[in-house]
Amino acid sequence: HLFYIRRKRRNFSKTATEVLNEYFYSHLSNPYPSEEAKEELARKCGISVSQVSNWFGNKRIRYKKNIGKAQEEANLYASKLANQAAQGVCGIRRDSDSSQQGER
């Protein structure tokens, strides 16, 4: 028999988790980041693209299982994003979100 060495499971940093959650809750209508967004998230979080993909897959499952608690978390991140927007802090945007809608 061959023995496989399983790597020890590690949690992501608090910052990485916040970055991923902020993206997830700001894209709840379509929580499937593009490959470009995954690459940017991976770079910001210091993790691999496959880890980002797995995180989103797990998050979608957890979100659906526990929508009540997830709604509280969504509200928390929505208010955080609103505060950041008021202060002019930029986040990751999907290509379809990046059109200049507010200019007149």
Q: What is the pLDDT of residue 34?
A: 98
Flag whether pLDDT at 91 surpasses 60. Answer: no
| pLDDT given for residue 41 in this prediction | 98
Confidence band, pLDDT 50/70/90 cuts, at residue 99: very low
CB-based burial, 61-81: b 16+ in 10 Å, e otherwise = eebeeeeeebeeebeebeebb
The band of 78, judged by pLDDT with boundaries at 50, 70 and 90, is confident
Q: Is the pLDDT of residue 101 over 50?
A: no
Nearest-angstrom CA–CA distance, 30 and 28: 5
Among the ranges given (12-16, 20-24, 63-67), the one the predictor scored with the smallest mean pLDDT: 63-67
Mean pLDDT of the chain: 82
Task: Out of 32-36, 56-60, 65-69, pick the least confident.
Answer: 65-69
pTM for this structure?
0.65
Domains, the chain, ordered by start: 19-87 (1.10.10.60)
